[in-house]
Structure formats: C-alpha cells, structure tokens
C-alpha cells in the first residue's frame, strides 16, 4: 500500500488553519515565522518558497529575510539576535546550507532554543535525547504523532511518525532499521522509535552487508541521499518502508533512496518520492511554529 504524504499533509494543514484561527481568537494574534535565506542558491529558493506558501495556507504570518551571501557570520548572528528579542516572532529558521565562510553550528546556536522551529539547537537535541516522555498515555495519530517532549522535535522524523501512525501499524516491539545517521533525520528518528518501544538499528556508510541488516526490519527508514540504494533484496516481505531521500537524476526527475518500482510489491506500506516524506517535513515545520507560539503564550512570553 502506498502512503501518500501529500494527502496526509493536506489534511494536517487544514487542521492547522483551524488551530491558528482558534489561537488568534484566544491570544489576539497569530504565530509568526521568520525564514532567513543567505544568498540565492536555487534549491534553497524553492525550499523557502514552499515554506512561505505552507505558512500562508495555515494562516501563519511569515517573513522571508533574504540576505546577501557576502554577509559575515557576525552580521547574520546580529539579525538573529534582533529576531530573538522581538516578542512578535515565534519561530526562526535559517535555511541551510550556508555559504562556506559561515559556521552553521554557530548560527544554529545563535537562535533562541524556544524559537528554533527546526529543532536543531543543541538544547532541543539534548532535550530529545535525555527526556523520557510518557509514551504509555500517548495515543499516536497523524495529528499527534509524538508524545510531549517539551521541546521542538526535528520536522522530518516527526513527519515520519505521523506517516507511521496513518498505517495503524503497532510500533511496540517492532524491529526498526534507520539507514543514515544525520543529526536532522537518522539520529532523532532512532531516538523517537526507541521511545515508541522499537528495537532500533542504525545503519550507515560503514555498515557491512546492508541488505541483510535491512531485511531484519519491520520498519525501514532510509535517509542517505543515494538513488535506488535500497533494492528488493533489502526488504522483508510486508515491511513498512519510508523513503526520505531526495535525489535529482541526470534526466531531471526525482528519485528516492529506495527503488520504488521493485520494492512496492514486497513492502506492506511504502512512501513514494516525490509526495511522501517531503510534504510532511514542511507541514511539521508549520506545526512546530504553532507549538513554539503556544509554549511562548503559556509562559507569558509575548
Ligand atoms: P546526510 O546527507 O547528512 O548523510 C547521509 C547519511 O547516509 C550518512 O549518515 C551516511 O553514513 C549514510 N550513508 C552514506 N552512504 C551510505 C551507504 N552506502 N549505505 C548506508 N548508509 C550510507 O543525511 P540527511 O541530511 O539525513 O539526508 C539524507 C537524504 O535525505 C538526502 O537525499 C536528503 O536530500 C534527504 N532529506 C529529505 C528530507 C525530506 O523532507 N524529504 C529531509 C532531510 C533530508
């Protein structure tokens, strides 16, 4: 069965419109997201445009701050400091990658953790790893895919948990394999699945016999960036397969990390590329903005 991230994302965005309208009535204003783009990298421009459109659809106020790629790290951080201090701004996102002369880690650290809608700030990452949420009392659904960690969870793994919830498959006790160990997808994904009582293996570029490792998986999440790395000999029959990869092929088309055509009949559930994880990531960014706003309002920080 194909999991349509596009359809689930559309459902979630309609729900977010309602959340935002209810919040406007309660707090007298709507959430505000600022997206900072440095330079004119064409891929970044597309990603930023998608984020601004999603915000508009959800009735989230948004601002696109386009800065020249010659900007110094210090000046970029000064812009962030201004936004940190602005009580009308709830979420700040710096579109990555940044030009080489700027240290991304310094920039991410410059964002106030409570406004870090990507969940990349070390305070949010540490909180995710050290906090044990009350999973027993949490009923996962596409709308509420993760228990309350009290911090921002990175958008892609959060969106994947929403996709998993859409299948109705019970996660408790399942074998999960996450291929890729990045800070933004693989690592947080592994922690979130551990917290959902999965037995998790993280595979990476030095893993030996990747197909054998993947075949153990009831739930296989692939975030590598290599087109069609995962072939049918990597799939356990009936497995739930989530393809995070986005790869532009020489003919201009997009491919995931999973060979969709040859895996779709073996997998129990599988996501396509495009139309799978991608739309969910942007959607979760909107939810994270709403959640940052809500937390700030509850703390009286407005
Ligand atoms: P990354 O690019 O930072 O790292 C790649 C990971 O893959 C590394 O951990 C590496 O160890 C592993 N790897 C490399 N070759 C491997 C191999 N042969 N076998 C097993 N593992 C191998 O990772 P990322 O930032 O998570 O991005 C991965 C892919 O996911 C990219 O295609 C990216 O564009 C895509 N992505 C998509 C979304 C989305 O919303 N759909 C979000 C984030 C990333």
2 phi, psi to nearest 5 deg: -90, 130
Report the pLDDT value the prediction gives residue 134, as an integer from 0 to 100. 79
Measure 212 CA to ligand 1 centroid, in angstroms. 19
Q: Within 13 Å and on the Cβ side, how many CA atoms surround 69?
A: 12
Residue 79 and residue 65 in contact, taking contact as beta carbons nearer than 8 Å: yes
Nearest to 226 by CA among 237, 218, 234: 234
pLDDT in tens, 105-136: 999 999 999 999 999 999 999 999 999 887 77
Residue bearing tokens 């995710």: 128
95 counts as catalytic = yes
118 counts as catalytic = yes
* Architecture in CATH of 27-112: 3-Layer(aba) Sandwich (3.40)
Report the pLDDT value the prediction gives residue 302, as an integer from 0 to 100. 59
Give the range among 39-43, 60-64, 211-215, 217-221 with minimum mean pLDDT.
39-43
Burial class (CB in 10 A: 0-12, 13-18, 19+), 215: middle
The percent of residues in the chain predicted with pLDDT above 90, rounded, is 96
Measure 255 CA to ligand 1 centroid, in angstroms. 13
This prediction's pTM: 0.97
Catalytic residue among 95, 158, 243, 257: 95
Starting at the earlier edge strand, list the strands of the sheet with 199-203. 199-203, 175-179, 219-222, 240-243, 269-270
254-255 and 247-248: which strand pairing? antiparallel
247 phi, psi to nearest 5 deg: -130, 130
Q: How many helical (H) and strand (E) elements, i.e. helices and strands, does the chain have?
A: 10, 10
Measure 223 CA to ligand 1 centroid, in angstroms. 4
pLDDT in tens, 172-215: 999 999 999 999 999 999 999 999 999 999 999 999 999 999 99
Which atom of ligand 1 lies nearest, measured to the CA of 224?
A: 7
Report the pLDDT value the prediction gives residue 136, as an integer from 0 to 100. 77
Res. 268: pLDDT tops 80:
yes
C-beta of 156 in contact with ligand 1 (< 6 A): yes
Give the range among 21-30, 222-231, 293-302 with minimum mean pLDDT.
293-302
Residue 270 and residue 241 in contact, taking contact as beta carbons nearer than 8 Å: yes
> What superfamily would CATH give domain 155-278?
NAD(P)-binding Rossmann-like Domain (3.40.50.720)
Residues of the chain with CATH 3.40.50.10860: 27-112
Report the pLDDT value the prediction gives residue 299, as an integer from 0 to 100. 87
C-beta of 205 in contact with ligand 1 (< 6 A): yes
Helix ranges (DSSP H) in the chain: 5-27, 42-57, 73-85, 104-110, 122-130, 155-167, 186-195, 210-214, 260-263, 277-298
What is the token pair recorded at 69?
């790629």
Residues of the chain with CATH 3.40.50.720: 155-278
In Å, what is the CA distance from 153 to each residue of 25, 121, 158, 241, 248? 26, 10, 6, 21, 27
Mean pLDDT (whole number) for 135-143: 88
């Amino acid at each position: 069965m194909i999991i349509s991230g596009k359809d689930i994302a559309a459902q979630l965005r309609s729900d977010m419109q309602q959340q935002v309208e209810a919040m406007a009535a309660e707090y007298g204003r709507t959430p505000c997201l600022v997206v900072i783009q440095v330079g004119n990298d064409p891929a970044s421009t597309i990603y930023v445009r998608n984020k601004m459109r999603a915000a508009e659809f959800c009735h989230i106020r948004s601002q696109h701050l386009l800065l020249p790629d010659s900007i110094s790290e210090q000046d970029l951080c000064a812009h962030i400091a201004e936004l940190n201090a602005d009580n009308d701004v709830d979420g700040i996102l710096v579109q990555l990658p940044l030009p080489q002369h700027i240290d991304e880690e310094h920039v991410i650290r410059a964002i106030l953790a409570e406004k870090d809608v990507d969940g990349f700030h070390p305070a949010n990452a540490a909180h995710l790893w050290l906090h044990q949420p009350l999973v027993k009392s949490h009923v996962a659904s596409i709308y509420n895919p993760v228990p309350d960690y009290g911090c921002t969870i990175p958008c892609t793994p959060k969106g994947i948990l929403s996709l998993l919830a859409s299948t109705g498959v019970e996660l408790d006790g399942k074998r999960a394999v996450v291929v890729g160990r990045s800070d933004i997808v693989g690592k947080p994904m592994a922690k979130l699945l551990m917290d959902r009582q999965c037995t998790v293996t993280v595979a990476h570029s030095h893993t030996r016999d990747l197909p054998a490792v993947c075949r153990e998986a009831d739930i296989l999440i692939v975030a590598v960036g290599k087109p069609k790395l995962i072939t049918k000999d990597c799939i356990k029959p009936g497995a739930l397969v989530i393809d995070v990869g986005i790869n532009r092929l020489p003919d201009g088309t997009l491919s995931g990390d999973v060979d969709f055509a040859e895996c779709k009949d073996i997998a129990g559930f599988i996501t396509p590329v495009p139309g799978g994880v991608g739309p969910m990531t942007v959607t979760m960014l909107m939810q994270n903005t709403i959640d940052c706003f809500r937390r700030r309002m509850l703390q009286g920080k407005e």
